[in-house]
Structure 1
Amino acid sequence: MTPPSDPLTPERILEATEDVLRRYGPAKATVVDVARALGVSHGSVYRHFRTKAALREAVTGRWLTRTELALTEILHASAQPAPAKLRKWLETLFEAKRHKAGDDPELFATYEVLMGESTVIEKHIRELVGQLREMIEEGVTEGQFAVDDPAAAAQAVFDATARFHDPAYAADWQKPAIAAEFTAVTDLLLRGLRA
């Protein structure tokens, strides 16, 4: 094999893995396919990711982290009051999931399979619920939310909006009424949190 012109990095491997998963799907994609796409030996890939499972876990984590970063920006936007911040956060989560499902359906379907076999999804959910808790606590401090247990409220908000971020509901996300349904649920939740 001809050595690649760019150094082999975990990021390059993850990008190639996404392409391979998109092309072959999770059942047929192999580390050898990833190595071939990079023009390296499969041993070179294994130097960065010890197992196929570790590589799949990393690519799933990378995909989820993109959404987390966008949501973290909203969380730390200090100029907005908590209710506006929470609404924007929920909208951003919904739009991120909708775009992933609609813009790249092959890769989205692949990630649905990978998430079923990954432990990073649990970490991702804990991160999202933690961000919700922070916003709710901020709203309590501002006097905007009347919540006795912000952690329980955060979990309730996450669960109540599952239809708008859980991949199991992806087929609903392109329906014409989905935006109005999202707004109705968000409005109801915000009214329920208000002081």
Structure 2
Amino acid sequence: MAPTSETLTAERILAATEEVLRRHGPAKATVVDVARALGVSHGSVYRHFRTKAALREAVTQHWLDRTSEALAGIVAEDRDPALRLRDWFTGLFAAKREKAGDDPQLFATYQVLIGENSAVVERHIADLTGQLTEIVRDGVARGVFDAADPAVSARAAFDATGRFHDPCYAREWEQPGIEADFEAVVVLVLRGLRA
């Protein structure tokens, strides 16, 4: 193993882990493979992630966080909440479609990892519904939306659009007419929230 000149960081380990998972799949990828890809000992990886399970959980969280981070900018914008809500759902659908379509092998790998890390998925969904709650709450404050409990309405809107972001529907995302179906659901959600 050749020594590496770069400082070993959690971020570098996660990037290498993703590459190893892409090459070997979740069943065959090991911490030793990750260490080899980084040019370090497996002990160096374990100093950042105490177990293989912790590493797999962290790489899954990192993968899901990229979607949350991309959508956070929409939440923070100071403009019409209805337009932000539409853009947020459009962004979520686009991000999920991109993950499924651009790298199907890695997407399948993450489906396995997500199954192993239900707490990570729960945190991801809580983050996403928290973002939606902020938009709905802002819409209520501006008189655009009518929601007695913005968190309940946000969760209902998230659940209503599940076909367009829940990975179990990934095979449908490239079907003809999916954009029209998406638009119909988003329009329905927006009408339901209008003040």
**TM-score interval, normalised by the smaller of the two chains:** over 0.9
Structure 1, residues 68-91: CA drift from partner, whole Å, max 9, x if none?
11111000011x211000000000
Name 2:59's counterpart in structure 1: 59
Aligned ranges 1:143-158 → 2 under 5 Å: 143-158=143-158
Distance 1:151 1:48 in 2: 36
**Following the alignment from structure 2 to structure 1, what is the Cα–Cα distance between the partners of residues 12 and 147?**
45
Residue 122 of structure 2 corresponds to: 122
Distance in 2, Cα, partners of 1:77 & 1:146: 20
Q: Does 2:23 match 1:23?
A: yes
1:21 counterpart SS class = helix
Write the letter of the residue equivalent to 1:30: T
The aligned residue for residue 192 of structure 2 is 192
Corresponding residue number in structure 2 for 1:45: 45
Task: Give the Å deviation of 1:176.
Answer: 1.6
Structure 2 residues without counterparts, runs of 5 or longer: none
Unmatched segments (≥5 aa) in structure 1: none
Q: For residues 159-192 of structure 1, give each alpha carbon's deviation from its aligned partner in whole angstroms, at most 9, with x where no partner exists.
A: 0011100110000011121111000000011011
Cα distance between partner residues in 2 of 1:174 and 1:106: 16
> TM-score, normalised on structure 2?
0.97
CA distance in 2, matches of 1:134, 1:5: 43
Query: Distance in 2 between the 1:7 and 1:133 partners?
Result: 39
Counting matched residue pairs gives 194
Residue in structure 2 matched with residue 33 of structure 1 by the alignment:
33
1:5 is displaced (CA, Å) by 2.1
- For the residues of structure 2 that align with 1:48 and 1:137, how far apart are their CA atoms? 39
Q: Note the alpha carbon deviations across 1:92-130, whole angstroms, 9 max, x for none.
A: 000000000000111111111111111211111001111
Amino acid at match of 2:108: A
Question: Which residue of structure 2 lines up, in the alignment, with residue 87 of structure 1?
Answer: 86
Partner of 1:69: 69
RMSD: 0.8
Counterpart CA distance in 2 for 1:121 and 1:101 is 17
Percent identical among aligned pairs is 64
4+ residue runs of structure 1 moved beyond 4 angstroms? none
